Each structure stands twice: as structure tokens, then as C-alpha cells.
Homo-oligomer: A and B are copies of this chain.
Amino acid sequence: MKTLNFTVEEYRERVRKTKESMMEKGIDCLIVTDPANMNYLTGFDGWSFYVHQGVIVLLDQENPLWYGRGQDGNAARLTTYLDEADIYPYADDYVNSTEKHPFEFVADILKKYKQDKKCIATETDAYYFSAKAQAVLEKNLPDATFKDGYNLVNWVKIIKSPAEIAYMEKAAVIVQLAMQKAYDVIDIGVRQCDAAAEVIKTLIKGTDEFGGDYASIVPLMPSGVRTSTPHLSWTDETYKDGDTVILELAGNYRRYHCPMSRTMILGNASDKVKSLGATVSEGLTAALEGIRPGMMCEEVERIWAKTIEKSGFVKDSRIGYSMGLNYPPDWGEHTASLRPGDHTVLQPGMTFHMIPGIWLDDCGVDTSEAFVVTEDGARPFCHFRRELLVK
């Protein structure tokens, strides 16, 4: 009854690399609470990350251990390659309790596996790992040593396997359908929520060959003055003549993302928006074409910055980040960023979202491409016209 998205060998190889990194850092036990990392190491899937759950990697155990809420135990049985003995469901009165905390249960597991005097690392700055969780763990394991395991698995997963790239290519097919749908339905007088509904439907429906999964971020589609900031979504107002509409969408296939941004202009757009659109598109294309494996991330940003210099526009934020497998609230992997000071060396199989959006006081433009680093450059996942989408 198990359904796995990758071979057991691929999962075991990921665990092996994780243990290798743990050994280098002197970590005996890694508590993985980031849902994307849990999925990466074991296959675990489900919208249960709203309660404390995780996967524990022990140097001296072959399989990771899963812990989570009792009613989610069957999700671990159905979606992971783990054995029954590796699955630790906790009782329901640990949930949202003022008296019991799930990390007391985690501490008990670690004692059972004789980790209570070992070096334990947690993902200290990951989503869903709270300050309280760390405090309860330290209180219940007074003889353990604690290290920071934040991003350890994220760095292991930065280079994608061919099977992972193939999933992202399916996500790319889906996001292109959704972007075209957005262009088709958005118009003056149409309600934003009606357009969003069609876009999301397209993302989930997928193609006749494969369906879509939910993206880690809902479609971001601000319009008008709301394009002065990148993370607003739709309202139930209608689009107006002269509106700029930013569309940041992502296709998702089995939790793997392919994001894409484009900017639409309805009717008469201001010259400022048109000029901003041309600048962003030119800089994006130059940076993409300039990428070579062996380059550092900051060099990609430098190509962008040099290209747009003459325009007078300035971008004071990073122009891209590593991404792939993820769960809400983010598809970014929190490792390499395309920005000054980032010395990560680009290697084949790394996947990024290059999104050099510029937001001014009253408007903004986003145009982006997801790409994979190849043996001799960068291959964008999508093929969709890169200029402003005028209607």
C-alpha cells in the first residue's frame, strides 16, 4: 500500500549524505522538523506540519525514525519506506496542551536510543521548530550537547538528482499552462478572485498525463498600487484600466516546484512601468545567459547589476535563490542566494528561481525564470515570452 515518489535506494543515498555531513560536524543525532527535509529523507507527506512532528537521523541507526501525532501515523506508514519499528506516534493529548509538550515525547525516544549524552542538533531557524521545542528538549536531556543543524539537510539537497529534475520539468509544464490561463482570463472589469480561481484550478488540474499538487505559496497576484510590494494576493475587486498585475505562480508536481513570474499591463500602462519591464527583462536574460558552472552566486548578481546600471533603476534585494522540494510557507531552500557576498559555487543539478523584481513606491514589475545549472550553462525550465504581457 506504500506509494513512494523515489526508489528506496535514492532515499537511502540522501540519508547517507546527511550522515556524512553530521559526522563532519560532530553531530550524533539530527532532529529534522522542516517538512521538506522530512519528505526528502523518508518520503513523508501530509498536511500535518501544523503539529509538532519530525524525523530523527541517528548515526548508529540505518533508518531515520518518524515521530508525530497518533492520527498521522498511518500517513507515515503509507508515504514512507520506513519500517513499523521506526514509527513513533504520540497520544493526542500532547496537541495544543498547556501541560504536555511533544518534545517530552521526543526526549523519551532519544533516551530509548541512548542519545541522552550525545551531540544532538536541531534545525534552529526552520519553520515549525519553535523556541519552546528547543527549551523542552534541553530541559529533558540535561546531559546532551546541542548543536545547530539548521540547513544541514538543505545543503545536502541543493544538487538535484535526474529524478528530481524530471519532477520539476513536469511542474514547469503546469506553471506555463497556468500563466497562459492568467493572461487569458485577466481583463478590465474581471474580479481578481475569479481570475485567481481559474489560475489555481489550472495549477491543480495539471495535464491529461499528470496532475498538479498545491504549491508552497498561493498565487501572488497583486494589481494596481498593490504591485508596490511582492507578497499580496487577490481581492474581490475588479481589475481597472491601466492596472499593472504581477503574477508569481508555481506549478507543483509531487512537492517539487517550478515558479514563474510575469507582469501584465491592462490598457494604458505608465511609461515608468514599461521602462521598468524592459529593464528587468534585459537584466534577467543577460544574467541567465552568463551563467557557467564554477561561477559563484554573487557573480550572477553582478551580471544583472551591470546590465541594468544604465537604466537608473536600483534593486536592493537578492535576485534569486535555490529552490525545489517544499511545503508551505516557502518554496525557497534557504541556502544559496544570488546576491553580493554569496560565494556558493554553481554546480550542475542546482536549481534556482531567478526573480529580479523591482518594487517602487506605487508600482512594481516581476519577471522570473526557474533554471537548472547544466554542464555548460543554465537551462530555464520554462519557455514563455519574457516581455511584459500587454492586454
Q: Which residues of A contact B (CB under 8 A)?
A: 1, 3, 45-50, 70-75, 78-79, 91-93, 95-96, 101, 122, 124-135, 148, 150, 191-194, 196-198, 200-206, 210-214, 217-218, 220, 225-226, 228-236, 316-318, 321, 328-330, 332, 334-335, 337, 339, 341, 357, 359, 361
Which of B220, B232, B357 has a CB less than 8 Å from the CB of A78?
B232
* With known contacts A50-B329, A73-B229, A135–B127 Cβ distance under 8 A: no
**Closest chain B residue, CB of each to CB of A138:** B131
CA distance A212 to B193 in the complex (A): 7
The answer to whether B193 and A75 have CB atoms under 8 Å apart is no
The answer to whether B329 and A74 have CB atoms under 8 Å apart is no
The answer to whether B211 and A193 have CB atoms under 8 Å apart is yes
Instruction: Choose among A73, A129, A201, A339 the residue with the greatest number of B CB atoms under 10 Å from its CB.
Output: A201
Q: A95-B337, A96-B321, A328-B329 are in contact. List 7 more A-B contacts (CB 8 A).
A: A49-B329, A74-B359, A95-B317, A124-B132, A193-B205, A204-B234, A329-B329
Shortest distance from the beta carbon of A211 to any chain B beta carbon, whole Å = 3
The answer to whether B211 and A205 have CB atoms under 8 Å apart is no
Shortest distance from the beta carbon of A322 to any chain B beta carbon, whole Å = 10
CA distance A212 to B124 in the complex (A): 35
> Which residues of the partner chain B approach A124 to less than 8 Å between Cβ atoms?
130-132, 135
The answer to whether A93 and B341 have CB atoms under 8 Å apart is yes
The answer to whether A206 and B92 have CB atoms under 8 Å apart is no
> Which residues of the partner chain B approach A206 to less than 8 Å between Cβ atoms?
193, 236
CA distance A122 to B74 in the complex (A): 34
* With known contacts A50-B330, A204-B200, A329-B47, A78–B225 Cβ distance under 8 A: yes
> Which residues of the partner chain B approach A135 to less than 8 Å between Cβ atoms?
124, 131
**Closest chain B residue, CB of each to CB of A199:** B204
CA distance A235 to B214 in the complex (A): 11
The answer to whether B128 and A131 have CB atoms under 8 Å apart is no
**Closest chain B residue, CB of each to CB of A229:** B74
* With known contacts A78-B232, A211-B194, A130–B129 Cβ distance under 8 A: yes
> Which residues of the partner chain B approach A128 to less than 8 Å between Cβ atoms?
127, 329
CA distance A198 to B359 in the complex (A): 34
Q: Tell me the number of copies of this protein.
A: 2
CA distance A281 to B316 in the complex (A): 56
The answer to whether B72 and A231 have CB atoms under 8 Å apart is yes
7 closest A-B pairs by CB? A193-B211, A211-B236, A92-B317, A131-B134, A74-B229, A125-B132, A50-B330
The contact sample of 30 A-B pairs, CB cut-off 8 A, is: A47-B217, A47-B220, A49-B329, A50-B330, A70-B317, A71-B231, A72-B230, A74-B361, A75-B231, A78-B225, A78-B226, A93-B341, A95-B318, A95-B337, A96-B321, A122-B131, A125-B131, A125-B132, A128-B329, A130-B131, A131-B133, A191-B211, A192-B211, A194-B205, A197-B200, A210-B236, A211-B234, A214-B218, A328-B329, A329-B329
The answer to whether A75 and B232 have CB atoms under 8 Å apart is yes
The answer to whether A92 and B316 have CB atoms under 8 Å apart is yes
Shortest distance from the beta carbon of A113 to any chain B beta carbon, whole Å = 22
> Which residues of the partner chain B approach A318 to less than 8 Å between Cβ atoms?
92, 95
> Which residues of the partner chain B approach A101 to less than 8 Å between Cβ atoms?
125
The answer to whether A193 and B200 have CB atoms under 8 Å apart is no
> Which residues of the partner chain B approach A231 to less than 8 Å between Cβ atoms?
46-48, 71-72, 75
Shortest distance from the beta carbon of A117 to any chain B beta carbon, whole Å = 21
> Which residues of the partner chain B approach A200 to less than 8 Å between Cβ atoms?
197, 200-201, 204
The answer to whether A201 and B197 have CB atoms under 8 Å apart is yes
Which of B47, B198, B234 has a CB less than 8 Å from the CB of A233?
B47
Instruction: Choose among A132, A228, A231, A234 the residue with the greatest number of B CB atoms under 10 Å from its CB.
Output: A231
